[in-house]
Every structure is written in structure tokens, then in C-alpha cells.
Structure 1
Amino acid sequence: MKKKILITGGCGFVGRHLTKRLSVDPNNEITIVDNLSTGLKLEDWPEHLKCSVARMIYDDCVNFFEESTEKFDVVFHLAAIVEGRMTIENDPLKVAKDLIIDSAMFRWVVKTKPKKIVYFSSSAVYPIKYQERKYNIPLPESLIDFKKNKIDLPDMCYGWAKLVGEYLSYLAVNKYGLKVAVYRPFSGYGEDQDLNYPFPAIMKRIVKKEFPIKVWGDGRQSRDFIYIEDCISAILETYERINDASPLNLGTGIKTSFRDLIRLSCKLNNVPYKIKTLLEKPVGVYARYCDIRKQRYFGLKPKYSLEEGIAIVSNYIKKNNL
């Protein structure tokens, strides 16, 4: 039986991997809407992600939502402005457009009533008071609870925008009877990720044998790095089981500092370790890593170790001479 699927932002990093995995099933009839602000045209996708879709619409998804009355079985809503820490901190009103994108999407689904909406939130929604140098904890989904009026200061405009998106997801379920799954990815990475993001940027410096290796801040800030295919697997294994907009973390639960990431990557690439700290660069919160208990409840466990992920990204950079 055919399943009509819409993916907004499908030409971006996460969207490409999601589309490739969904395209394997011939019953999935995929439509992508993407204005290519950061994404790649379908014909320019990396070889390992090339696939066919039923329809490609190169346009702003806000325009699509305003004009379309088409009905879909599943809507994967990935469209957003992120562009890394430099944009989040230095151009917050650019990121605030995410409020427009999400509100347009939720108004549209209320009219067209898809069978399922999958909303991509972010770990940036978590209160920054739990991510400080002096005090940080693995972040459980329960730290935010709209039913109990339980929210706190998230990470910059991007965190606020995604928190509003989660609240709209909550309203879509409780006021309009829709079915919504919400995901909070932590620091996803992969071989074809834009170099605005720290993981591929650091891997490139190491592969190109930059010495010393530049790191933003003092390098002691830490993140929860999860390989993109583990994120996609978790979503595809659970999105049909979550209907109430209750969020699910996507992470490993392992806290890794940028110094440790560089040290391990240097070892695996047989490159000497020495860093140059760029203290004037923005670094965000000190420590962000997830509580994995709810993922374990769903039977989820990452397939790829950090060492394996480093090898995949490093080899891709070498092979494609990036």
C-alpha cells in the first residue's frame, strides 16, 4: 500500500540521510520541499545517498504550506535555519525565522490532517542551567513538561524557536487531535555534513595535518556525538509508536570534550596532537549530553562507536579530497 510522505528540508544533511533510507521501500511516495538555502540539489547528493523521489519542489516550505491543500500520510518536518554556533550566537534574528516556518507548518497540518507528523526539535531546548561548567547533568526529556508548566531558559533564539515548535506539537495533539512524534537530536554528525559544524571541520583539519589544530574556546566544552545513521535508525524504529508529542532524545549519553575528540581523531589518523585554542570564538554551553533511559525503553542503542564515526568521516574527506 502506497504511503505518501512529505519531507521539508529534505535536501539538507539530515534530510538526505532520511530520504535515502525511506526510498528503499518502493511503497513510499516521497515529496521533498527545500529552498536550497543550505541543501543540495538531488543530482548533487553524495554518491552513497543518491536515490529517487516522486517529486522535488525547490521552494520555501512556507510558500508550500500557504498554497497546498494536498494530503499526506506522514510529514517529516526538518526545515529550519541553524547553520552552526556562529549564526546561533551572532545572528539570532535569522534563526528566529524558524518560528515562521513552524507556525506555517502547524497551521497547514491542522487543515490537511496528515496521519502522522514528525517534528525535529533540538537538544538546544534544554535549560542551560543544567549545562554549566560547575554543574551539568545528563539531560532527561522530563526536564521540560508543558502539562506541569515546567520550562526554563533554553539555548539562545534557536532553543526558544524549537521549544515553541514543541509546544505547537503539544497543542496539535491536545487541541486538534493530531498524531505527532518529537525528536531532540544531540550533536549529530556525518561524512557529508556542512563544514560550518564542528565535527567535520575538526576532522578536515586533522586529515589535512593542520598543526597545531585549531579548536574554538578552550576545547574543554563537551557534547554528545551521535552518528547520523544512528539518528535515522532511531527515528524510523519509533516514529509510528509515538503519537502524543512526548519528546525522545537522540544521543549516546556519552560526554566527549573537543580536546578528547581531537586527541582520539589524531590517534586514529596517525597525526600528532597539539591544539591552538581560539578563545574569541563562540562555544555555547559547557556540557550537553543526554539521558538515554527513554531510548533504552524503546530498545534503542547506537550501532556506531565514536571511533567508527571518526573513521567514516576521515576516510570520506580523504577520498573526496575535501
Structure 2
Amino acid sequence: MKALVTGSAGFVGRHMVAALADCGFLVDGCDIASPISRRDALSLFREDARRFDLVVHAAATAPHRAAIDGQPMNLALDLTLDSAMFAWAVRTRQRRVLYLSSSAAYPTDYQDDFATARPLCEDMIRFDRYNIGTPDSSYGWAKLTGEKLAAAASAAGVAVHVVRPFSGYGEDQGTAWPFGAFMARAKRCEDPFTIWGSGEQVRDWIHIDDVVAGALAVVDADVREPVNLCTGVGTSMIDLARMVCAEAGYEPCFSTDLRAPAGVAYRVGDPTRLFDIYRPRVSLGEGVARAFRSVAV
């Protein structure tokens, strides 16, 4: 079996490559940032006519908070990547595509106010509604449009699976993301320990092992409707910081930076559809412990 992973040098992409290889796939990675190939996905979509048993499209531009809020023109490249990939998949008759969407595609109306926020279920995004709602910044618009492209490719005969990861994290995550940044600050025993925003923002943290295993379970079950990759459990930034510092063995003062990008107030997924296929195995406490052991090495 042959698989292609775009964005193969990124956080999700490199874990997906490893998991597919473990499953017996011959994996071809494609990432302009890769120190090995430095191959541009757009060039592949123009020139490569090979057929794969599975295409995992994880390529995107810097999907972290600072870039989402501070680099709105990333929308142009993300839309170009997604449209080129789906057009190529239809043209070359790819057998199966796994599209990594995002929880950022959900309407922010459900997430901006703690008083009205609620778990996000897949049916909150429906393209047959007059008002589909406003997603989270340009990155959310890109993923929402990508899902529309996914539906078009599906109608054209490609088997497409769409997953919406929530706050993925893991021991090798970069410091541009909250979990990676918190781990680095705890390793340095920073005091005060700075948190972007108020610290009260709630997220649904799902370990990268469960992101990858859950996504591949969706493919194996041949589910053709979008599926949240989430736990259904919300944890605030300040509580995550406390967990990380406790694992590091110190008790700092916590400071907040209200000028820094913070995102929505409450983003927790409804895992009902996922739980019919797969149940996450790594708790947040275990994930923090794993990451700290890895850092300590």
C-alpha cells in the first residue's frame, strides 16, 4: 500500500508518516520545509500523476495563534494548497483522501462567551444553511472552504474523509503552540510564568497519538461525514500551566499578557461521533508526564 502525506515535516504530518509506516504503508512525504526533500506540494499537484491508496493532506501555513491572528494573508496560500490538492485528487483519481480540517472552522458565536458556549458538534457546520456562521480568523475560513472542496471532490468520485482536530499536543511540539511553550517555560523554571490572554481560555487537549490514531480509525471505518478529534474535556490555560509546573516540581507566580493573541473563550468538542469509532487513550495528565520525561532526556 502506498500513502502520500503532505506537510510531512510538520507536527501532525511527521507523526502521521510514522504511524502509516508502522501500519505497513510505503510512505511518500512532501513538505517544502523538510530538510530531506524540500519538495513543494504545489509542484507535486501540478506534475505527479501517481495514484496512492491514501493521501493525507496536512499541509498548511503556521496554524498557531500568533500566525492565525497576525498573518491573515496565509489564507491565500492555504486556499491554494487545498484547491490544488483536491483538483489533483479528482484529476488523478486518487483512491482515498484524509483531509485535516480544524476546530477553527466552527462558528465563533458558540465560543466567544462562557455564558453561551457549548461543546461543538459536527452538525453545527452545515453548508445548506443561509447563515453558516463566522469561523475563527482566516485560518478558520481556509478550513471551512477546504471542507466545501472536500464535498465537491467526494461528489466527483473521490473517497474523502474529513476530521476536525481540537488542541493537539505532544512531547515534540514546537514553542509556537501553547503546550510546547509551556513545556519550555517549565523546563527553564520561569517565574513568573507568562500565559497569553487571561489564562481562563478553555481548550480540548488531545494527544498527538490520539489525533493520528483517531484520524486513521475514521479512514478504516470509511466514515464520510466530518468527525471531531477531541476528548470532550475542557481544561483552561491556567490549569494546564499549573499541571506542567507541578510536573516540573516548582510553584511559580503566574502572569497574564492581555495584549497577546488569546483566541476564543471556550473551545471543547462533542466527541459522540468519534467515540463510536475510537476513544482517546492518553489523558492530559499522562501527556504532560510523557512530555516532561522527554524534555528531561
TM-score by length of 2: 0.96
**1:269 correspondence with 2:248:** yes
Which secondary structure does the structure 2 equivalent of 1:76 belong to?
A: strand
**One-letter code aligned to 1:81:** T
- 1:142-169 CA-partner distances (Å, limit 9, x unpaired): 1012245562100000000000000000
- 1:183-206 CA-partner distances (Å, limit 9, x unpaired): 100000011111110111011111
**One-letter code aligned to 2:2:** K
Report which stretch shifted further, 264-273 or 138-147.
Answer: 264-273
**1:303 correspondence with 2:284:** no
> Would the alpha carbon gap of residues 235 and 83 (structure 1) be closer, same or farther in structure 2, given more than 3 Å must change?
closer
Structure 1 segments (4+ residues) deviating >3 Å: 147-150
Residues in 2 aligned to 1:73 and 1:149: alpha-carbon distance in whole angstroms: 36
Cα contact 1:82–1:95 (8 A) shared by 2: no
Cα contact 1:143–1:150 (8 A) shared by 2: no
Of the three residues 185, 192, 217, the one matched with 1:237 is 217
Q: What is the aligned partner in structure 2 of residue 223 from structure 1? A: 203
**One-letter code aligned to 1:25:** C
- 1:96-138 CA-partner distances (Å, limit 9, x unpaired): 3100000000110111111101100000000000002332100
Of the three residues 188, 204, 214, the one matched with 2:168 is 188
For structure 1, the 5+ residue unaligned runs are 43-56
Task: Return the offset for 1:63.
Answer: 1.1
**1:166 correspondence with 2:163:** no
Q: What is the aligned partner in structure 1 of residue 158 from structure 2? A: 178
**One-letter code aligned to 2:185:** R
Cα contact 2:74–2:138 (8 A) shared by 1: no
**One-letter code aligned to 1:225:** W
Q: What is the aligned partner in structure 2 of residue 22 from structure 1? A: 20
Q: What is the aligned partner in structure 2 of residue 10 from structure 1? A: 8
Cα contact 1:82–1:158 (8 A) shared by 2: no
Residues in 2 aligned to 1:292 and 1:243: alpha-carbon distance in whole angstroms: 15
Residues in 2 aligned to 1:261 and 1:120: alpha-carbon distance in whole angstroms: 25
Residues in 1 aligned to 2:236 and 2:223: alpha-carbon distance in whole angstroms: 35
For structure 2, the 5+ residue unaligned runs are none
**One-letter code aligned to 1:318:** A
Cα contact 1:117–1:179 (8 A) shared by 2: yes
Residues in 2 aligned to 1:41 and 1:312: alpha-carbon distance in whole angstroms: 27
Of the three residues 244, 250, 256, the one matched with 2:229 is 250
> Would the alpha carbon gap of residues 98 and 233 (structure 1) be closer, same or farther in structure 2, given more than 3 Å must change?
same
Cα contact 2:247–2:292 (8 A) shared by 1: no
Which secondary structure does the structure 2 equivalent of 1:117 belong to?
A: strand
- 1:198-251 CA-partner distances (Å, limit 9, x unpaired): 11101111121100100001101111111100111112222132353x110001
**1:288 correspondence with 2:286:** no
Residues in 2 aligned to 1:11 and 1:243: alpha-carbon distance in whole angstroms: 27
Task: Return the offset for 1:95.
Answer: 3.8
Q: What is the aligned partner in structure 2 of residue 48 from structure 1? A: none
Cα contact 2:214–2:229 (8 A) shared by 1: yes
Q: What is the aligned partner in structure 1 of residue 293 from structure 2? A: 315
**One-letter code aligned to 1:18:** M
Residues in 2 aligned to 1:177 and 1:148: alpha-carbon distance in whole angstroms: 24
Which secondary structure does the structure 1 equivalent of 2:220 belong to?
A: coil
Residues in 2 aligned to 1:213 and 1:315: alpha-carbon distance in whole angstroms: 20
Q: What is the aligned partner in structure 1 of residue 55 from structure 2? A: 75
Cα contact 1:221–1:258 (8 A) shared by 2: yes
**One-letter code aligned to 1:130:** Y
